[in-house]
């Protein structure tokens, strides 16, 4: 497993679409955006009831989406503050140059708000944030992504593959 990877990809699964949405699963994976090589990963489930205690919310449509798929995973769920603290430690250990997500308006605002509600400092700076969707869509404007299964770790790995493919394709044209 490579350990000298410069960036992190993050992904979350939520019970809503607003910045105050309950997060019930999150993952982060160290990677190199130019090669797609990936290494250490972090994955955790967050206890939904504990998330509600931090004034995070859900919406009916998103809850229905998850109920139709067997409900949110809660097998090894931990309190929100514990998970966010562990994620902050993982990010600190990795010391990434950049942190990527699929879009700038979902994962980052929701995670940032969760840190705020949990009384913790957000473990990255605004200038570290990168949007993989925009890069991908600049290279492949008509391409519809495949392979998203709403599992935070699997989605991170797919997003790493997509961003590396887009970067390398754009360099070849």
Pairing mode of beta strands 129-131, 98-101? parallel
Question: pLDDT tens digits for 127-164?
Answer: 999 999 999 999 999 887 766 678 999 999 999 999 99
Mean pLDDT of 83-89: 98
CA distance 111 to 50: 15
- Angle between helices 152-172 and 132-139 in degrees, nearest 10: 40
Average pLDDT score over the chain: 94
Phi/psi region, residue 71 (left: phi>0; alpha: psi -120 to 50; beta: rest), is left
Q: Of residues 37 and 171, which shows the higher confidence score?
A: 37
Residue 2 domain-assigned (yes or no):
no
Q: What is the CATH number of the domain that holds 162?
A: 3.30.420.10
Residue 60: domain span: 7-172
Q: Is 29 in contact with 55 (CB distance < 8 Å)? A: no
Residue 166 domain-assigned (yes or no):
yes
Residue 1 domain-assigned (yes or no):
no
Question: pLDDT tens digits for 20-54?
Answer: 999 999 999 999 999 999 999 999 999 999 999 99
Q: How many domains does the chain have?
A: 1
Residue 40 domain-assigned (yes or no):
yes
- pTM given for the model: 0.94
């Amino acid at each position: 497993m490579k350990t000298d990877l410069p960036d992190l990809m993050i992904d979350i699964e939520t019970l809503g679409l607003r910045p105050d949405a309950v997060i019930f699963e999150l993952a982060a994976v160290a990677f190199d955006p130019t090669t797609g090589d990936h290494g250490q990963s972090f994955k955790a489930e967050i206890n939904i009831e504990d998330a509600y205690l931090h004034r995070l919310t859900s919406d009916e449509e998103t809850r229905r989406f998850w109920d139709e798929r067997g409900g949110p995973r809660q097998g090894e769920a931990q309190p929100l503050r514990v998970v966010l603290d562990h994620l902050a430690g993982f990010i600190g250990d990795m010391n990434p140059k950049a942190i990527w997500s699929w879009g700038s308006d979902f994962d980052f605002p929701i995670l940032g708000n969760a840190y705020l509600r949990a009384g913790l400092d957000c473990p990255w700076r605004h200038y570290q944030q990168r949007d993989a969707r925009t890069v991908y869509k600049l290279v492949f404007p008509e391409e519809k992504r495949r392979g998203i299964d709403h599992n935070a770790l699997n989605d991170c790995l797919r997003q790493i593959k997509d961003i590396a493919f887009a970067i390398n394709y754009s360099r070849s044209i």
